[in-house]
Amino acid sequence: MRPYDTFIIGQLCIDEVVQADGTGEWSVGGAVVYSSYSALAGGNHVGILIKSSAKDRMIPYVLPVKNADIYWRESKTGTTSIRNEFLDDKHERRITTALAQGEMIMASEIPDVEAKVYHMAGLMDGDYDNEMIPMLAKRGKVALDMQCYLRKPDPKTGEMVYGDWPYKEKYFPYITYLKTDAAEAEILTGTSDRREAARMMVEWGVKEALITHNTEVLVYDGKEYYTCPLKPTSLDGRTGRGDTTFSAYITERERADIPTALQYACGLVSLKIAIPGPFKGTRADVEQFIKENY
């Protein structure tokens, strides 16, 4: 087996999306789904570890990843399910509720695979055993979506509440790529200045900090700040924006410099935001969009 370009680790998620007008629908979603489509579009060799109830075991096999590259693990507590209730037509304000949470993914469950990047595509606090981070760092680069430690379901209502991660200074030195959105960056660092927030994350040990915003994406590597605008034609596919961006960036970053990888990720996610669901286009589609819009 040749090494994976990216090995994505996370929970299967059954999403309920409720629009501002009250209409809604159910779909298979979650960070693993959006991330795998995004990575595959770039021509990468993608492996995934995905956890769900035994009842939902076959769902991951509808993903475009080859069956041999899917490593399923059973969650005895059920499959994660999340409701996103949008409060405005721009999809910037929403109420997120955990309807169910799958069993924690343990370091011992990671298969003996090789990967350039190990992508922890989590959804909420409790998705991972913390010791997975240093374990994966011994194998390759670690990419972490910070939402999986900052989002915590209220034990009574299930509504997601945000809180700081007390272990950030302990584990950040193991992380090559860290992603937050603007709100998460402020919770983590205490500042609404995205550049200052990114600087603090790198100061705590992260190699490259990526912060998404509805207008642009920012990356800081300890030396320079890089930004690139988003240019979507509509916001119908807002759900999954951050997951798609991060996966496109970290896979492209393995073959390109920061500004090139950032522009590629912004072009891809701009196309994705216009259409609900994961990105199902190609690298050629992204390159053509960049040529016409950047």
At 167-220, the pLDDT tens digits run 999 999 999 999 999 999 999 999 999 999 999 999 999 999 999 998 999 999
In 3-state terms, what secondary structure has residue 285? helix
The total of other beta-carbon atoms located within 10 Å of residue 71's CB is 17
Q: Residue 33 contacts by C-beta under 8 Å, 6 or more apart in sequence? A: 12, 13, 63, 240, 278
- Provide the number of structural domains found in the chain: 1
- For β-strands 4-11 and 46-52, DSSP reports them as parallel
Question: Which residue stretches of the chain are H helix?
Answer: 31-41, 132-137, 147-150, 168-171, 182-189, 194-203, 241-253, 258-273, 283-293
Which pLDDT score is estimated for 20?
80
CATH code (residue 109) = 3.40.1190.20
Provide the residue-wise pLDDT of the chain in tens; the chain has 294 residues. Answer: 569 999 999 999 998 888 888 788 888 888 999 999 999 999 999 999 999 999 999 999 989 899 999 999 999 999 999 998 887 766 667 788 999 999 999 999 999 999 999 999 999 999 999 999 999 999 999 999 999 999 999 988 999 999 999 999 999 999 999 999 999 999 999 999 999 999 999 999 999 999 999 899 999 999 999 999 999 988 777 778 999 999 999 999 999 999 999 999 999 999 999 888 899 999 999 999 999 999
Token representation of residue 66:
């080859």
CA distance 109 to 234: 40
CA distance 272 to 246: 13
Supply the DSSP string of 69-116, one letter for each residue. Answer: GEEEEE-TT--EEEEEEESSTTS-SEEEEEEE-PPPBPGGGS-S--EE
Which pLDDT score is estimated for 90?
62
User: For the whole model, what pTM was predicted?
Assistant: 0.94
Q: Residue 108 contacts by C-beta under 8 Å, 6 or more apart in sequence? A: none
Backbone angles phi, psi at 237, to 5 degrees: -110, 40
Among residues 51, 49, 61, the alpha carbon closest in space to that of 4 is found at 49
Which residue range is the domain that position 82 belongs to?
A: 4-293
